[in-house]
């Protein structure tokens, strides 16, 4: 049974190298398409940005206010939960220690 096993190793390695080469070619093609599309989009975006900037500034101000409120609430809740969990663990540990000692 050693013959077929020895033959399998080089064939699998050859297949892997072929797959890697094909994958590299596919990546190069994708990057080339993306670069072409980005160049076209940049020209269009420069024209549209002047119109969208006013709208985006209004939306960003609203989103920033909401995010700040949510972050403050989350931080307060996390701090309270941590304090309670630590207190409960401390009481349980003290009770267990007293029972074990007695």
Q: Tell me the pLDDT band of 34, cut-offs 50, 70 and 90.
A: confident
Exposure string (b/e) for 15-26, b if CB count within 10 Å is 16 or more?
eeeeeeeeeeee
pLDDT of 9 > 60? The answer is no
Q: What is the pLDDT of residue 40?
A: 60
Number of domains, the chain? 1
Q: What is the overall mean pLDDT for the chain?
A: 67
Q: Is 77 helix (H, G, I), strand (E, B) or coil?
A: helix
**CA-angle at 12, arms to 10 and 14, nearest 5°:** 70
Give percent of the chain above pLDDT 70.
Answer: 22
Cα 78 to Cα 41: distance, rounded to the nearest angstrom: 43
CA distances from 43 to 30, 35, 54, 84 (A): 20, 13, 19, 56
Task: Please give the model's pTM, rounded to 2 decimal places.
Answer: 0.22
Which residues span the domain enclosing 65?
A: 1-102
């Amino acid at each position: 049974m050693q013959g077929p096993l020895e033959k399998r190793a080089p064939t699998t390695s050859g297949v892997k190298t072929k797959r890697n080469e094909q994958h590299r070619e596919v990546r190069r093609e994708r990057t080339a398409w993306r670069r072409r599309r980005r160049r076209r989009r940049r020209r269009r975006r420069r024209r549209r940005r002047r119109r969208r900037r006013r709208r985006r500034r209004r939306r960003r101000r609203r989103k920033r206010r909401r995010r700040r409120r949510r972050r403050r609430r989350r931080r307060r809740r996390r701090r309270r939960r941590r304090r309670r969990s630590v207190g409960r663990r401390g009481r349980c540990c003290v009770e267990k220690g007293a029972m074990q000692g007695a």
